Structure 1
Amino acid sequence: MSKHSIVVLISGFGSNLQALIDASKLPTANFEISLVVSNKKSAYGLERAAQNGIPTFAQSLKTFKDEGKTRVDFDVALAKEILARSQPKLIVLAGWMHILSPEFLSFFPGKVINLHPALPGQFDGAHAIERAFEAFKKGEIKNTGIMVHRVIPEVDRGEVILKQEIPILDSDTLEALEERIHSHEHQLIVAGTIEALKAL
């Protein structure tokens, strides 16, 4: 079975990247990771990639801003650098903490997906788990969830590829809830990547 090339964008520890790396080695996988990109040079996920022989690239928004350039300048340069190094069938955002502009997305129309730790229409944007936990404590919700969705200019509003509800327990601390969500994320990001590739 031929495998599709994917590029994974990260900003930190890279546990979801590790799930993708592990899955890509299975005979049943329909993808291989051709490049890992980070907007932070210190991201441990870059080390994970290097340990598995995957090329890496880091580019900092701060460097662009220090040169008087804009976020859009950063995004366009990033997109061009990705295309210079790889021709990905799909780009997977796995803990990528930077909102991508329409200019970036125009280079990869319909080919960027994101993992977000909330259900569709709930807790868009940053700190989704913390906000869900606060809403639970106020009695506003009983569960939260995770989703893999296509990326559009509106944050966390793209077409949902896969989603999964996750209960919040009365005994939960924020840390316990985060741990449970992350354990499910590792499965959903792999399944979502496989599904998104099938649809392309």
Structure 2
Amino acid sequence: MRVPSQFYLEGTNLQALIDARNTPSLPGADIVLVVSNRKAAYGLTRAAQAIPPIPTAYLALQPYLKANPTKTRQDYDAEIARVVVRAKPDLVVLAGWMHIMSEDFLDFLTGDRALDSAEPVSHPIPVINLHPALPGAFDGANAIERAYEAFQKGEIKHTGVMVHRVIKEVDRGKPVIVKEVEIKDGEPIEVFEERLHKVEWEVIVQATAQVLEETN
């Protein structure tokens, strides 16, 4: 089973997947590629230091557009899709990827649209995303901070973490795994965030294993 992982800066969710490879939590799985749109993402280092090392790719939107003045945001997303498709994954895991992809990206991975200079997609490649909120709550960026603020205002009693299938609406795909996370009275946001991240590390592995089993 082949999984490319995409992530943000620290790469701790990626590390959870690296540590779970070929264990009872994620048996028979490998990570074939790590893609980042942030050059400083520590996940690139985590991938390079893994045993064996995991191939990486870096491609940021603005440098890409600057180097290719006739290209568009859709062209960039197509290039990301091309990089992913060439790795021939069974699953794409968005583990902290903060760039919202265009609709074309998913069409390329499902095979609904063909990529130039790339092998045709033989079967749809599912995409899942880790989001630190419950379904339908705090879609988009800064979900942890927004949930913590809502708790302080008495608007919510708890929040959570979910891994969901990626569709064209942001953070609205069908949940694969959902877990509630308590926010404690008087708890500093840093302590709450640390507890929530530990739940993220568990559910990203569980959801990856579940979708791979369904796919294969």
TM-score between the two structures when normalised by the length of structure 1: 0.94
Partner-residue secondary structure (3-state), 1:149:
strand
Shift, 1:11, TM fit: 2.3
Aligned equivalent of 1:5: 2
> Contact 2:161/2:196 (CA < 8 Å) preserved in 1?
yes
Aligned equivalent of 1:19: 16
Q: Output the CA distance in 1 between the equivalents of 2:109 and 2:21.
A: 22
Match for 2:10: what amino acid?
Answer: F
- Residues 1:75 and 2:77 are matched in the alignment: yes
Shift, 1:170, TM fit: 0.2
Unmatched tracts of structure 1, length 5 or more = none
Aligned equivalent of 1:193: 208
Shift, 1:12, TM fit: 1.1
TM-score between the two structures when normalised by the length of structure 2: 0.87
Identity of aligned residues (%): 52
Unmatched tracts of structure 2, length 5 or more = 111-124
RMSD: 1.2
> Contact 2:85/2:109 (CA < 8 Å) preserved in 1?
no
Q: Output the CA distance in 1 between the equivalents of 2:29 and 2:22.
A: 9
Match for 1:47: what amino acid?
Answer: T
Partner-residue secondary structure (3-state), 1:108:
helix
Aligned equivalent of 1:157: 172
Question: Residue 44 of structure 2: which of 40, 43, 46 is its match?
Answer: 46
Match for 1:8: what amino acid?
Answer: S
Write the mapping of 1:75-94 to structure 2, written as runs, cut at 5 A. 75-84=77-86, 86-94=87-95
Deviations 1:83-118 (A, max 9, x none): 22x100000001111111111111223610000000
Q: Output the CA distance in 1 between the equivalents of 2:84 and 2:16.
A: 22
Write the mapping of 1:48-127 to structure 2, written as runs, cut at 5 A. 48-52=46-50, 53-66=53-66, 67-68=68-69, 69-84=71-86, 86-109=87-110, 111-127=126-142
Q: Output the CA distance in 2 between the equivalents of 1:46 and 1:31.
A: 19
Q: Output the CA distance in 2 between the equivalents of 1:127 and 1:60.
A: 21
Q: Output the CA distance in 2 between the equivalents of 1:170 and 1:161.
A: 29
Shift, 1:65, TM fit: 2.8
Question: Residue 35 of structure 2: which of 31, 34, 37 is its match?
Answer: 37
Q: How many residues align?
A: 196
Q: Output the CA distance in 1 between the equivalents of 2:137 and 2:57.
A: 32
Q: Output the CA distance in 2 between the equivalents of 1:130 and 1:65.
A: 31
Match for 2:54: what amino acid?
Answer: I
Shift, 1:26, TM fit: 1.5
Shift, 1:44, TM fit: 0.7
> Contact 1:147/1:163 (CA < 8 Å) preserved in 2?
yes
Match for 1:119: what amino acid?
Answer: L
Partner-residue secondary structure (3-state), 1:106:
helix
